[in-house]
Structure 1
């Protein structure tokens, strides 16, 4: 995949998986996310938001390191936890990053034991992650990335307080929100926990209109 200064091992994994062309979102936010600033990124599902999350986490963490997780990815439900883990297997096959997922249907004591053995990426639902944070299951100050996927539906279920509590327990980290729309709740939480966040809005209809305009111009030139 053509992304500026992408990790060679990650690039090889993406090529192996047949992912050679980035979406507008993946291309235009890659450098900004890599720089470590806080971002709120809004786009339709066709822009590959979850894939962008996985790509950027692999780029940032690169390889196994120490015991406590360095990236936290908050998702809506068990099915999404499993989806994200599969994407890490698919796009991280040339790294040794350790990825683990938690959700309400799992055994919390078992999860804590697995995490204590050492992981790099923790993926989970707001409820289960909140329980684990409150019981001090790991050193949150090692976190380099705090990511909320599908922010709008998660916040619609009133998980705001849980997410703020988790975020407030971290001294310093990059915070990223990915969402289909920037609602008042999304914007309010971003203002509450982020530092001068950058906002990106990728509108599918606008992209289609731009493509149609370019196609029309080419036809006129012919």
Structure 2
């Protein structure tokens, strides 16, 4: 069969094709028959973001990978203007805050949920790696954890990740949880969207070059991942 459109309140928005780009739990609710194994086999993996605002920039790179640490990635943020104190006549002085974000994947149970301990570890690691961080003052911080940020890679998971193409001729799936050949990452999510677009164009008998070919695997990589 074919999908006619999408319900939006009391209305139906007609569509020639539909790309369902939602998390697997939402897909299970919307089209349960098309993603039957998802609920039983899929488990989410958390990602924690530690947002830090310092009184000065602590490194000049746009981002960096931290190896062998609790902190895994650090991203340079934007400068922000905050306010501190109150002067005479009710005036406030402006502070320039330098934002950076530390990302920790697979963060389930990290520091037993102790946010203060995690913050202490992250700041100590930044100070060990970036000399400028040692003289920077932390103005504020925020820790955010998405408990099901990505699909947890477990034995047998590849066999149940659904293809972008579904039994419904003009309905396609997209998301890092679909069968992309890649792990559940941002890059995998982008690839899934390209696959969905490519398969729609194939059904529509239109030319396309949506999917970028994988990089060539040398002998060492083939030995590691097949």
Query: So what's the TM-score if we normalise by structure 2?
Result: 0.21
Q: Which has the higher strand share?
A: 2
The structure, 1 or 2, with the larger RCO (C-alpha pairs under 8 Å, 6+ apart) is 1
Rg comparison, structure with higher value: 2
